[in-house]
């Protein structure tokens, strides 16, 4: 079995589609990060394991989901309908075949507006900074990823805001992990983005991730 960690903040509109796309035999672990739209109750009704993480932040939700996971393989995926969990076996197959230790989904927009220009620019800048810091060249630092649970816990990722995905890659690179990426379609999300939908959200994410590269992960405060 594989566990799929789904950080969730007011995603009731997208949850039915997302949970229906979880591969058969896998477990969905929805981390309710303070939703006010009944997302947690809905996810439970739809058969997901629900974890409540009161500390607001994408990294806080990811960390709580990882702690709650029990499967050997763990995947992470956004819960807003922009990414298809049904494609996660493409990532885990690389782990199972022992050709990679961490596999990321490289987002490929399927429609205008799915990935705003300011978000792409921020992602590209961070990718360049990552290369300079670690020598690892990635086209995307997106949220869809897969790795072994025990190894992820050993990384001891500290960021609890938007820097969590990047810190995972940095620590994995420093540990000598084989890091790969595979293209995955990226659709317009359901509802308003907490990060890439606004310049402010993108700036906050870039700020948090830049702090990770400087060795100072953002461990406190709200924000996604």
Q: Are strands 2-8 and 73-76 parallel, antiparallel or unpaired?
A: parallel
Of the candidates 174, 123, 181, the one whose C-alpha atom is nearest the C-alpha of residue 147 is 181
d(CA 200, CA 195): 8
Q: What is the pLDDT of residue 140?
A: 92
The SS3 assignment for 178 reads coil
Q: Is the dihedral of CA 46, 50, 54, 58 positive or negative?
A: negative
> pLDDT digit string (tens) for 159-216?
998 889 999 999 999 999 999 999 999 999 886 655 545 556 555 666 666 666 666 4
* Structure token digits, residue 45: 């009704």
d(CA 169, CA 164): 9
- DSSP sequence for 101-151: SEEEEEEEESSTTSS-HHHHHHHHHHHHHHHHHHS---S---S-EEEEHHH
CB 104 within 8 A of CB 145: yes
Angle ∠(103,107,111) on CA atoms, nearest 5: 160
d(CA 102, CA 138): 12
> pLDDT digit string (tens) for 72-109?
999 999 999 999 999 999 999 999 999 999 999 999 98
Phi, psi of 176 (to 5 degrees): 80, 20
The SS3 assignment for 40 reads helix
Q: Is the pLDDT of residue 27 over 50?
A: yes
CB 179 within 8 A of CB 136: yes
- Helix ranges (DSSP H) in the chain: 15-20, 39-45, 58-68, 88-96, 117-134, 149-155, 164-174, 199-213
Q: What is the pLDDT of residue 189?
A: 82
119 contacts: CB under 8 Å, gap ≥ 6? 195, 196, 202
Q: What's this model's pTM, rounded to 2 decimal places?
A: 0.87
Q: What is the pLDDT of residue 211?
A: 67
């Amino acid at each position: 079995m594989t566990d799929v960690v789904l950080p969730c903040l007011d995603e009731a509109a997208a949850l039915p589609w997302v949970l229906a796309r979880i591969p058969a035999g896998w477990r969905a672990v929805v981390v309710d990060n303070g939703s006010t739209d009944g997302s947690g109750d809905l996810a439970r009704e739809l058969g997901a394991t629900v974890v409540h993480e009161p500390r607001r932040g994408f990294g806080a939700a990811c960390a709580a989901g990882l702690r709650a996971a029990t499967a050997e393989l763990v995947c992470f995926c956004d819960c807003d309908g922009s990414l298809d969990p049904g494609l996660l076996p493409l990532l885990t197959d690389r782990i199972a075949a022992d050709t990679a230790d961490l596999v990321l989904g490289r987002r490929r927009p399927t429609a205008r507006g799915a990935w705003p220009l300011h978000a792409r620019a921020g992602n590209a800048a961070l990718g360049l900074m990552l290369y300079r810091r670690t020598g690892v060249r990635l086209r995307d630092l997106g949220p869809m990823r897969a790795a072994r649970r025990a190894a992820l816990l050993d990384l001891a990722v500290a960021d609890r805001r938007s820097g969590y995905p990047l810190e995972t890659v940095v620590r994995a690179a420093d540990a000598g992990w084989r890091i790969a990426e595979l293209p995955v379609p990226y659709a317009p999300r359901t509802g308003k983005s907490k990060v890439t939908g606004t310049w402010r959200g993108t700036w906050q994410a870039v700020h948090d991730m830049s702090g990770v590269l400087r060795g100072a992960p953002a461990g406190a405060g709200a924000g996604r």
